[in-house]
Amino acid sequence: MSNTADDPFALFATWFAQARETEVNDSNAMALATTSADGQPSVRMVLLKGHDERGFVWYTNMESRKAGELLETGKAAILFHWKSLRRQFRAEGPVGRVDDAEADAYFATRSRDSQLGAWASDQSRPLDSRATFEARFAAMQAKFDGGDVPRPPHWSGFRLTPQRIEFWEDGAHRLHHRRVFARTETGWHEGLLYP
């Protein structure tokens, strides 16, 4: 492996910085896997908006399907696939909501249209026509015309606190390199996995 750091968060930061330089689009795009209370899996792409030693953060409408499943089970898994680097990164563990101050701070960095879209969208619910959504968006433009757009009460973020992390690098002839970290009471236990 190109980086032998024994801190998985430091290693992720290195890989993520490299991906930011080489991936043409959305180097922060990650697959987010959730399950319903009855075990039905679901996966979709979301954008990583923060990471540190506490975990990995993304934002969403709290009334969406993914938020419902995250709140219901309290667990998730994420996957980054950086094709240009021939690398993958996986993490799994418990999730929890970010605090209001953190959500407010991130929401303030979004473009105005993205902020208005958060108010206009009933994410994941049936939509009778695109015109209905566009009319709702126009109504939000009028409502907040000339003023700041506050964070909607139904919009916030989640943080995954990883219990297991895997770094995967492509190898010739499918002889890949897989490095795994598992959280223990005393820190991280590191090991390797067969390709």
Bridge partners, residue 95, by sequence = 160
Among 54, 174, 178, 179, the active-site one is 174
69 to 82, 112, 121, 130, 157: CA distances (angstroms)? 26, 28, 19, 26, 14
CB atoms within 10 A of CB 74: 11
Q: Is 19 helix (H, G, I), strand (E, B) or coil?
A: helix
C-beta of residue 137 within 8 angstroms of C-beta of residue 117: yes
**For tokens 């968060």, what's the residue?**
9
Give the DSSP letter string of 61-113.
ETTSHHHHHHHHH-EEEEEEEEGGGTEEEEEEEEEEEPPHHHHHHHHHHS-HH
Active site residue 179: no
Residues annotated as part of the active site = 174
